[in-house]
Amino acid sequence: MKRALAIIFAVLCIDQSIKLWMKTHFFLGQSHQVSGDWFILHFTENPGMAFGLELGGDHGKLLLSVFRLLAVGAIGWYLWTLFKKNVRPMLTICVALIFAGAVGNILDSVFYGVIFSSSDYWGQVAEFMPADGGYAAVLHGQVVDMFYFPVWEGTFPDWFPYWGGEDFMFFRPVFNIADASISIGVFLLIIFQRRLFGEEGRLSDKKILRSNIFLAALCGMLALFLLLTYMGMFSETHPLSKITQILCLASSALIGYGMFRWLQRQPVFDPVLIMGETTETPVANSPTEPTVEATESADAPPTDLLP
């Protein structure tokens, strides 16, 4: 439970700190290159869903905000039920990531229209807590997005169905930390679905090692992403210098290695011990009395390795 709550708190702090900085330092459409032409901080707002998807009109915005509140409540209730069950910790972490991302975006919708003045494309930067009030009513705020990764551009071949001859770009949508948190939570649920929702017992040492390597690598990539982001926000040089990028890469590698070492030291999650299921061995002259070893196994405390 503490681990999941710490993740929710961390995601919300990172998400809101970046959004507040972008909102009060960038005008709409302003961009800064962080690393080459493929990692760009690009300030935009949308009244809709994740990755810039929209549901138009004031009524559509209100409907979307109410839907988000209901969704956050449902996810929060499900997360609370997981806290009271002896499930694999990875499941609570995935749901916590999704919950944190949903809360991060609903904060924009509920409060940003009240606490910020409007931004525009002609150099006007928003003001925090303006004297004349915000740019919209409660539940009508717009979600702040800033991460733009135009990694690959090209043209579909003429024989390609429907889009033949048209230009394409990967990855076109602009997103934020909350969107990324939801996507990572869903991605991990898909990757580990058989483990999290199946009846798989105690994991083998080989599976544990593979899982720990994967999670440590993911942690390292996220650390690199955040280090580059914060350096790009506060640096006067755009894109960042090669030295700065190399330092960020080295730091993220150390963070990933540290996470791997930490995961390797965690006790193994064993569903048999969690459920109190033991194999009773009869003792001479007492066929119904379990052995000392079986009793100790039943009393063993639950363990909680991430995978």
247-274, pLDDT tens digit by residue? 999 999 999 999 999 999 988 776 655 5
Q: Is 15 a catalytic residue?
A: no
- C-alpha–C-alpha distance, residues 72 and 143, integer Å: 16
Please report whether residue 230 resides in a domain. no
Q: Half-sphere exposure of residue 97, counting CA atoms within 13 Å on the CB side?
A: 17
Q: Supply the range of the domain harboring residue 75.
A: 1-201
Q: With beta carbons less than 8 A apart as the criterion, state whether 176 and 18 touch.
A: yes
Q: Half-sphere exposure of residue 214, counting CA atoms within 13 Å on the CB side?
A: 12
DSSP tag of 112:
I
Give pLDDT, residue 10.
96
- C-alpha–C-alpha distance, residues 98 and 242, integer Å: 34
pLDDT tier, 292 (very low <50, low <70, confident <90, very high otherwise): very low
β-pair partners for 45: 144
Q: With beta carbons less than 8 A apart as the criterion, state whether 238 and 33 touch.
A: yes
State mean pLDDT over 135-155: 90
Write phi, then psi, for 237 (nearest 5 degrees).
-105, 125
Q: Is 205 a catalytic residue?
A: no
Give pLDDT, residue 57.
57
Between 172-181, 201-210, 291-300, the lowest mean confidence (pLDDT) is in: 291-300
Please report whether residue 214 resides in a domain. no
State mean pLDDT over 55-59: 59
Name the average pLDDT for the chain.
Answer: 84
> Quick one: which H or E segment has residue 254?
helix 242-264
Please report whether residue 151 resides in a domain. yes
Give pLDDT, residue 297.
46
pLDDT tier, 219 (very low <50, low <70, confident <90, very high otherwise): very high
Q: Which of residues 162 and 305 earns the better pLDDT score?
A: 162
- Cis preceding-peptide flag for 239 (omega within 30 of 0): yes
- C-alpha–C-alpha distance, residues 182 and 196, integer Å: 17
| Residue showing tokens 């972008």 | 22
Q: In the chain, where do the E strands start and end?
A: 31-35, 39-46, 143-148, 152-155, 167-170
Count the domains in the chain. Answer: 1
In this structure, the number of other CB atoms found within 10 A of the CB of residue 256 comes to 21
- C-alpha–C-alpha distance, residues 89 and 83, integer Å: 9
Give pLDDT, residue 289.
47
- C-alpha–C-alpha distance, residues 288 and 281, integer Å: 9
Which ranges of 26-151 does DSSP label H, i.e. alpha helix?
Answer: 58-83, 89-107, 113-115
Is the pLDDT score of 44 beyond 90? yes
Please report whether residue 216 resides in a domain. no
Give pLDDT, residue 159.
86
Please report whether residue 51 resides in a domain. yes
CA angle 255, 257, 261 (to 5 degrees): 115
Please report whether residue 250 resides in a domain. no
pLDDT in tens, 101-124: 999 999 998 999 999 999 999 999
In this structure, the number of other CB atoms found within 10 A of the CB of residue 18 comes to 21
Please report whether residue 272 resides in a domain. no
Q: Report how far apart, in Å, the C-alpha atoms of 26 and of each of 43, 126, 133, 227, 306 are.
A: 6, 8, 20, 19, 39
Q: With beta carbons less than 8 A apart as the criterion, state whether 170 and 46 touch.
A: no
Is the pLDDT score of 293 beyond 50? no
- C-alpha–C-alpha distance, residues 143 and 294, integer Å: 56
Give pLDDT, residue 284.
43
Please report whether residue 229 resides in a domain. no
DSSP tag of 119:
-
Q: Report how far apart, in Å, the C-alpha atoms of 196 and of each of 74, 191, 307 are.
A: 20, 10, 9
Active-site choice (132, 145, 158, 304): 145
> Quick one: which H or E segment has residue 167?
strand 167-170
Give pLDDT, residue 286.
42
Active-site choice (179, 205, 270, 299): 179
